[in-house]
Amino acid sequence: MRILFLGDVVGRPGREAVAARLPVLRERWRLDLVVVNGENSAGGFGITEKICDELLAAGADAVTLGNHSWDQREALVFIARQPRLLRPANYPPGAPGRGATLVDTASGRRVLVVSVMGRLFMDAMDDPFAAVDREVALCPLREVADAILVDIHAEATSEKQAIAYHLDGRVSVAVGTHTHVPTADHRILPGGTAFMSDAGMCGDYDSILGLARDEPIRRFMEKTPGPKVEVATGPGTLSGLAVETDDGTGLAAQVAPVRIGPNLAESRPAFWE
């Protein structure tokens, strides 16, 4: 199975990069599943129903969120009627929406997609290890799901690595998001799970994490509040992770980073090109 995961979509540059490139890649690479993290897609903070629909229309099968899940208050309402939009599974009981969904692919296979959020240097949340264990136990690999992808939205690479190793051999892909910078540690763990500490962002990399540079620099230097930060407006780069799974085991067979656009060295999966 061919799986593409795209990191945090940041504002209009990220949305435009997804809209322009994903439909072409989906056809060219004959992708079975595409998952996109959309938690920064609305002006850098949260997601709206219109934007969620646009990401799905561009070719995403599921959209994951993170610590900015509720920055756009309408998300508290429309997430209940959109089964393909996932907030972290370890939100406390009573939070609207869901943390996992089972996607039926066009090829007739079923993929469990799970969103989970870390706790180091993040808002207080329920235990991410217990939450992801619960979701995976409900749809075990090779028994219910043909593949399982987990988006680990966390600040600390150590926590992302710990969750990934905890899941090794039980899920197909465990990929990190949130820090907006693609890491160079893409690999297949000993048990067969594809991993990357952070998939990077889909957005303008001539920026500070997708935001226009001046105000973040001023805040670092002066340590005073100021104007609202704005999303950078340059052309967006698509960043993510490509994984091919073994149909027999559901585990990863090949993995490669994806970077398409300006400001970063381009990277495409040679096994699909």
Residues designated as active site? 68
Distance CA 247, CA 237 (A): 31
- What's the residue count for the chain? 273
Radius of gyration for the alpha carbons in the chain, expressed in angstroms and rounded: 17
> How far apart are the C-alpha atoms of 109 and 32, rounded to whole Å?
9
Taken in order 159, 260, 37, 41, the sign of the CA dihedral is positive
Q: How far is it, in rounded angstroms, from Cα 226 to Cα 39?
A: 23
Picking from 245, 230, 267, the residue whose alpha carbon sits closest to that of residue 112 is 245
- Our CA angle for 18, 202, 76, nearest 5°, is 85
Q: Are residues 115 and 178 in contact, defined by beta-carbon separation less than 8 angstroms? A: no
How far apart are alpha carbons 180 and 8 in whole angstroms? 7
Burial of 94 (0-12, 13-18, 19+ CB in 10 A): exposed
Q: Where are the alpha helices (DSSP H) in 112-153?
A: 128-138
Nearest to 3 by CA among 110, 95, 78: 110
CA dist 13 → 65, 120, 205 (Å)? 18, 29, 10
